[in-house]
Chains A and B, each alone.
Chain A
């Protein structure tokens, strides 16, 4: 069992009820809390207002496993997504991100384990799960009915999701206007550009105002302006309606801007999970520096590697990239060493810690 899995199993969620933050701490170790836990077992709590008030987790994944023959796509996954959060699932290709989303939206049956979405078990109540879930599948710009008009696509899905018929036109107009597609409402979806089809797929996922929105690479086909708009929409919806977003993405910068929590998955297992801010704060314990030197890259690299506080040193095109522990006291030591050994420094630049650093660290096996 990996370190991260041990951590996730030991985070107080073994009771079957997952209450985040302060509520859990207040209730812990009292008779009342035990009674509370029994009375409010996860299956019973389906009222939205109650889930929001006590901040219950909207998505709870327990020991979820999916095998395709000999291949284990999702391997005993454990994950909790708090209500109203924007949760980013990061990982390389084939890590099991899309399979996780397909399991959560009940397209696939788990080989082992289960999950609950909005209080409904994906095995026992798949229809209820689908009712409260909006899904933006992988390559969602191809998942529209090409011969149907933009408007008809949304109307069809609105009716299938049981949106009251009187409300459908208003909701369609609101969403299409926001996405800048209202003028194209009568055009066949197949005639829209890739980006516009992606926006339409997003409208479709949001039309029935789902409690949980599952998104597989939601901005992959969008231009930067449209992607920014979608990110703002997602953040706005999460704040306003307390909708929960579970997002697969390769785009680390996007996840960093949008998600308040992230998990890094590889080979079907969660390697690391937590609040984005906390994970970034962990990164501050070490700091990356780019050092440009005059011609003597290898010498500079050797000096850097000989320092105890340098955790990694790599050669780049015309510079070296070093990671330093306790940077405030150690960066000057490194600079002095380089200068004293005759290395001419052109630039000694601090790099901002990004999720990319964390992601690469974790995927390479250097779990923090």
Chain B
């Protein structure tokens, strides 16, 4: 029942957001940048050095694939920044707060309205990159590989969603404590920068000789996962505890 009501809020928010063309196309364009960049890189390597393309891609994978996660987090933070303060600016918040939604149901709904499209775009980006990469590789006679590779897939599909949830939670928290949407957007910039740090950890795993230490990659992935989990738990707890209808309405 609780999740059903949260899903109602999420669905309504999404429908409203998708009716704004700037949001819809901006979201897709922002997310499409990473796959375009990665596919372009694969194409460039395949055309310039077809014999070593697989080796090069495997080497670059831990550094390049996290870009997909980074590019997805930015729009996620933008949508969630709008969650409560956006409703307040449109004067729809009071009517929503007068419904029997509990704080938890409302916040879950607001988080889901950003989380669902973000994860859909993340999965779509990964899938498009994998398919396009292998089409290019097979066309130059190279073997079929996973790009993003297994370690990157772990980072993107396990740690990624948790990190996205953490970013969205903190943005919803901020959204309930600012007066204007632009204030929330300004805060989202700083928040994203902080939350991106775990995603760039795997980029540090290449040594001076250009050799990727896979042990280091996996270790950084595990650290990223742990950091993401802690951030998600802390930010969600904060979002729930600090949610105050009185404060939101009185501001």
Contact = CB atoms under 8 A, between A and B. Distances in A.
Interface of A: 68, 102, 105-109, 127-128, 130-131, 133, 135, 137, 139-140, 142-148, 156-157, 159-162, 201, 204
A157 B15 contact: no
A108 B249 contact: yes
A145 B99 contact: no
Interface in B190-236: none
A105 B12 CA distance: 23
B138 interface: no
A278 B61 CA distance: 83
Given A68-B250, A107-B249, A127-B102, A148 B97 contact: no
Interface centre among A68, A145, A146, A160 (most CB of B within 10 A): A160
Contacts of B98: 105-107, 130, 133, 135, 137
Interface of B: 5, 8-9, 12, 15-16, 19-20, 90-92, 94-102, 245-246, 249-250
Contacts of B92: 143-145
B245 A107 contact: yes
Contacts of B95: 135, 137, 140, 143-144, 157, 201, 204
A160 B91 contact: no
A107 B246 contact: yes
Contact of A137 (B16, B94, B99): B94
Do most interface residues of chain B lie in helix, strand or loop, or is the interface mixed?
helix
A194 to B, nearest CB: 13
Given A135-B98, A145-B90, 13 more contacts: A68-B250, A107-B97, A108-B245, A109-B245, A130-B98, A135-B95, A137-B94, A137-B95, A139-B91, A143-B92, A144-B92, A145-B16, A147-B19
Contact of A147 (B8, B16, B246): B16
Contact of B8 (A127, A128, A159): A159
A61 to B, nearest CB: 17
Contact of B91 (A130, A133, A143, A161): A143
Contacts of A201: 95
A284 B107 CA distance: 56
Interface centre among B8, B20, B94 (most CB of A within 10 A): B94
Contacts of A162: 100
